[in-house]
Each structure stands twice: as structure tokens, then as C-alpha cells.
Structure 1
Amino acid sequence: MTSVRVPTRRAVVAGMIGAGASFAMPAARLHAASGPPQFGTIRHQFTQIEGARPVPPVAIPALAGGVLDLAAFRGRLVLVNFWATWCAACRTELPMLDRLAASGRSDLTVVAISTDRNRAAVAPYVRQLKLRKLAIGFDPGGLVSRVDAAEVDTPFALYGMPISFLIGITGQVEGYITGEADWLSTEAGAVFDYYAAGGR
């Protein structure tokens, strides 16, 4: 006489969960494919901004003299990093951004904007880190960036330090990531390629 095994309640529930996951997976892949490639760190991910805003024409004082106007780079990608001399993670990330600026990628401009109130501290700090290719600007008065961005109209809200924003070829802020990130990685390159192709 053969015995018939009746599935336990646990086996039935596990089977239902597995079936549900198999249905959900293609939808999740489809959603991920419709946005930028994934890029981030253990703690932070690149976040696409819904309702991207154009960058206003603002003259940002430059360390090398003259001004930087982020709106003037329309047609190119612009990676805008906000940093400060007191920020330990910035000290790690800035040399990497300098190497990215020197990488020869013709469709990308890299700008690092200091939020230090004491502008005199910035030039020695930049020399100490041997930053040679990075365009350095100053924004201690919050011309383009603010911690209280909800109360002040600006496309750059300082959610953390450092924080980097990517401006797309149309001159709109496309997304951001807080904390230091590996901008020389293949994943970062894929994000640049996505937005260079006009992705959104």
C-alpha cells in the first residue's frame, strides 16, 4: 500500500511566496531598466530627482579667478560636488574627482564647490590635496546650495556632506548622491553614459 504525502501548510505557503516572487521579478527588472543604472555605496545610492529642475544662471566665484556659471555648460554633463575643508569624507573624495576631471571624458565637466565660510582656508587645502584639474568654486553664502532648501528656492539641497549632483545635457539637475562615492568605477561611468544619451 502506497502512502500519499499531504503537503504541510508551511510547504504550501512557501510555494505561494516563491510563485509570487517569480511573477514580481520581471516587473522589478523592467522598472529598474526604465531609470538610470544603479550606482552607490553601502550607505547611499544615486537618486534620480523626479521633476528635474533647470540650473539657474548664477555666477559662482572660482578659486582660479573669474566665475563659474553652471547654466553655461548646457549640452554637457556636469558633476557638481559640494564639500568643506572640515569634512573627512570630502578629503577622500576630492582627489578622486580630480582624477575624473583629468580622465579626458569630453562630455563631462566636474565642478567642486566649497561651502566653507572661511575662503582663505580653501586654497591651501586644495594645494595640500594636489587638486590640479578640478574646477573649484565658492558658495559660502548659499548662492546655489542651501541646507534649508525647502524654504529657499534652489536646485541644490544639502542633504549631507559631501553631496554630488549630476546635471544632464538639457541643463537640468537629474539626480544626487550623498557621501563619498567611487566616481572612477564602471557603475559611475554607466550613469554618465545613460544621461549623456539623454536618458530619463
Structure 2
Amino acid sequence: MWADGAIIMADNVLSKVALSRRSWTRRSARDSHTDVATVPVLSVGGYARADGGPPAFGSASHQFTPASSLETLPPVSLSNLDGDPAPLAAGQGKVLLVNIWATWCQSCLTDLPLLERFHEAVGDRVDVAAISIDKADQGLVRRYLKMISIHSVPIYLDPDERLASSSSESPAPLPIFGLPITYLITPSGRIAGYVSGISDWLTQDARKLLAYYASA
């Protein structure tokens, strides 16, 4: 019942979200003065705040929160949309964005298309993994992704909370403080920090943050 409700909810709000999503995306691109086809993500390093910390990135309500200690993200065995094992391993020499989402998350309707846009633009330089924490079968997730036109972002399923969990008692390495939430993993596989809420990784601020951690 809840699984069907998630699709119905998404279908009902898509028409409302679509306009705001297009406006928000255009505004982000305009404000950052970037071109999706030519944005030089990670081409320039050395960005840092005056205090030596990572560059600021986020929105008025959500900012990138650096980890107090750079712990290594362990390999985790998840599933793909076909239900087959799909190991997720960091430390492959590139920055990795791990996006946690669910079909019942309204903000994810905007965040996932932005992530898709980012992946299509710079997927050869930054790895992306979108992790669904839905408890329903993969068929629901597949239909949801088709409905919002997500085709290229690598999708993983984590119904058992092996990678991410909102429970303080869970051994999962990535805490969930709200959805969507995106963790930035360094090229060496360390958890650098996270940002909650809708995030446009093609902005100038995001580019500076990614460049800052590219050599970490």
C-alpha cells in the first residue's frame, strides 16, 4: 500500500515540482555563470577558506558539513535494480558522491534530476552512486526512476541499511540526518563530509569543494 502511495504521491507532485525544478536549475546555472557542457570540474585545485577549511557549499538551509575525522568508507555489498549483488567500493582514485534517497522523499524529485545532470556532464571525472533505501521491491524503484527520467546515474539498493541508516544503533557507516543527503568521499576512500537537501553539484561553489578534496 505504501509502495503504491509513493508512486501516486510522486505523480501528483511532479507537475508542481517540474516548473520549480527547471526554474531552480536555470537560476543556479545563471548565478554560478557555468556552462554544463564546459564546466571545468576539478581542473583547478587549492580552493580553501581563509581558515584553511573546505570551501562553503550548500543552500540557505543546508551547508556542507565536513567530517571531524576522515574515516575510510568500507566496501559494502548492495544490490542493483535487477536484484543482483552490486558492491560499492570507494578509493578508486576519483571523488565519489554517495547520494541517499527514497521514492517517498519529495525533495528527491528535484535532487535526483540535478544529480543526473551532473553525472552526464562530468561523470568521467567524478564518480556518483545513488542509493535507494526503499524497503519495497526493485520494481517500484525502477518505475519511479523511469517516471522522473533518471537513466544514467548508477543506482544501488540498500533496503537492509548496510550502507546508510537513520538509527544511532546501526553499524552502517553513513548516518542519515534527512533525505536527500549526499556524502563526499575522497579519492583515497575517506568520508569527507555531507550535505543534506537539494544540491546542485554544477555550481561554482560545488566545483571549488570538489577540487579541494580531489587531492585529499
* Shorter-chain TM-score range: 0.7 to 0.9
Shift of 1:70: 2.8
Residue in 2 that maps onto 1:147? 166
Shift of 1:41: 0.5
Residue in 2 that maps onto 1:112? 130
Distance 2:184 2:82 in 1: 22
Residue in 2 that maps onto 1:132? 151
Q: Deviations over 1:35-94 (max 9, x none)?
A: 111001110100000112111111111125644333255211110111011111000010
Q: TM-score, normalised by structure 2?
A: 0.73
Q: Write out the 4+ residue segments of structure 1 that deviate beyond 4 Å after TM superposition.
A: none
Residue in 1 that maps onto 2:112? 94
Shift of 1:151: 1.7
Distance 1:196 1:106 in 2: 13
Residue in 1 that maps onto 2:50? 30
Contact residue 54 and residue 155 of structure 1 kept, 8 A: no
Shift of 1:178: 0.8
Shift of 1:132: 1.4
The gaps in structure 2 that reach 5 residues or longer are 1-48
Task: Please give the root-mean-square deviation of Cα atoms over the aligned residues, in Å.
Answer: 1.6
Q: 1:64 to 1:37 in 2, by over 3 A?
A: farther
Residue in 2 that maps onto 1:24? none
**3-state DSSP of counterpart to 1:166:** strand
Q: TM-score, normalised by structure 1?
A: 0.78
Q: 1:72 to 1:171 in 2, by over 3 A?
A: closer
Verify: 1:122 aligned to 2:148, yes or no.
no
**3-state DSSP of counterpart to 2:210:** helix
**Structure possessing the higher radius of gyration over alpha carbons:** 1
**Counterpart selection for 2:121 from 76, 100, 103:** 103
AA matched with 1:138: L
Distance 1:171 1:73 in 2: 4
Verify: 1:161 aligned to 2:179, yes or no.
yes
